[in-house]
Amino acid sequence: MTKHILILPGDGIGPEITAEALKVLECVKARFGLAVEFDQALVGGSAIDAHGVPLPDETLDKARGADAILLGAVGGPKWDSLDMAIRPEKGLLGLRSGLQLFGNLRPAILYPQLAAASTLKPEVVSGLDILIVRELTGGIYFGQPRGVRTLENGERQGYNTYVYSESEIRRIGKVAFEAARKRGGKLCSVDKANVLEVTVLWREIMQEMAKDYPDVELSHMYVDNAAMQLVRAPKQFDVMVTGNMFGDILSDAAAMLTGSIGMLPSASLDENGKGMYEPCHGSAPDIAGQGIANPLATILSAAMMLRYSLAENEAADAIEAAVSRVLDQGLRTADIQSEGCQRVSTREMGDAVVAAL
């Protein structure tokens, strides 16, 4: 049965990096005889430009019908002055929520070939391998009520609602406990249970769930301390699980520990393993169109897609091995370049991965 993969290039460097990932996917399709078909659609700023909305119905329909989605990135200064309801980010948030992609997996891995790229001392980050599990369709990102109102005294007041129900916490907890079980067996749940009631419930549910996972060692950490510990001793972590907002912040900090956020893929999964895959980095409008962006995070996202949503482990392994090989060959895009290495363009990097396959 043919699987349908939807590619959403998005904005900024999105089109350049997804083009390279598609090249790699076409290559493994031929080599492994995969029964996959590719389609494309608009999301974010490019959809606003074409249709006036960041998530056209056609795109959401195609996404619903697809077996997996590969996204570039969305957003850019061009659309920054738009009203929040029709900004590029709403396209991304609409996809996450519309497809109920609540389980966001963000690995922070240090590639040995790129150890020097980190701003942290080698002994602090060498061998780093953390998985951040972020809840992606709830919390303060989607909580109601929200908005800006005028108070009786005439001044305006902005408000948002941070909200989680037991079942929302449980389903992301399950993703995290299962992931920890398959990895190092350690799960750190991050909350602010000394101040926020919603995270008191979060902690309680995680504690309750721990009974069903006696093989996983659960710990709890306040979010401020977690931000600190990521800088102080990141290798103490195996899997971290947290809500949407804290996950947004901590996963970016964790990614930057590696010094090569241009290398990090991510997956956003629904209850059935259907998923959207995207690089951890953003749309980088400052370097868009120059052909210098690093396509490897998107190529590795494609590998994650093959593994998690299409069960094509062999093809996924092959892509990851090919990426490792081009790094060994000393090829580097601008963001990860270092002395003695050969600087290549976005396209050259994609070609090199294909050649290594």
Ligand X SMILES: CC(C)[C@H](C(=O)O)[C@@H](O)C(=O)O
> Which residues in this chain contact ligand X in the complex, by CB under 6 A?
75, 89, 92-93, 194-195, 224, 248
Binding residue count for its own copies, defined by CB under 8 A: 61
Among 31, 64, 146, 182, binds its own copies (CB under 8 A): 146
Collapsed DSSP state (helix, strand, coil) of residue 9: strand
85 makes contact, choosing from ligand X, its own copies, none, with CB < 5 to 8 Å by partner type, with: none
Among 73, 230, 302, 315, binds its own copies (CB under 8 A): 230
* Beta-ladder partners of 6: 39, 69
Known catalytic membership, residue 182 = no
Pairing of strands 275-279, 239-242: unpaired
* Tokens found for residue 209: 């769930």
- Of residues 71 through 90, those in contact with its own copies by CB under 8 A are 75, 84, 87, 89
147 makes contact, choosing from ligand X, its own copies, none, with CB < 5 to 8 Å by partner type, with: its own copies
Give the span between the Cα atoms of 85 and 80, in whole angstroms.
Answer: 12
Q: Is 294 in the site for its own copies (CB under 8 A)?
A: no
Give the span between the Cα atoms of 216 and 103, in whole angstroms.
Answer: 19
| Binding range to its own copies, per CB under 8 A, among 15-23, 244-252, 318-326, 341-349 | 244-252
Task: Return the closest-CA partner of residue 130 out of 214, 224, 252.
Answer: 252
88 assigned ligand-binding residue: yes
Query: What residue has token string 């210098």?
Result: 292
Rounded to a whole number of angstroms, the minimum distance from the CB of residue 124 to its own copies is 5
Rounded to a whole number of angstroms, the minimum distance from the CB of residue 4 to ligand X is 24
Known catalytic membership, residue 248 = yes
Known catalytic membership, residue 351 = no
Alpha-carbon dihedral 217, 234, 132, 261, rounded to 10 degrees: -160
76 assigned ligand-binding residue: yes
Cis check: omega of the bond before 145, within 30 degrees of 0 = yes
Exposed/middle/buried for residue 153 (C-beta within 10 Å: 0-12, 13-18, 19+): exposed
Q: Is 127 in the site for its own copies (CB under 8 A)?
A: no
Phi and psi dihedrals of 121, rounded to 5?
A: -65, 145
Known catalytic membership, residue 252 = yes
Give the span between the Cα atoms of 64 and 349, in whole angstroms.
Answer: 31
Distance of CA 140 to the CA centre of its chain: 18
Residues that bind its own copies (CB under 8 A): 75, 84, 87, 89, 93, 119-121, 124, 140-141, 143, 146-148, 151, 155-167, 192, 194-202, 223-225, 227-228, 230-233, 245-246, 248-253, 255-257, 259, 261
Binding site for Mg(2+): residue ranges? 224, 248, 252
Binding residues for substrate: 96, 106, 134, 224
Q: Which residues are catalytic?
A: 141, 192, 224, 248, 252
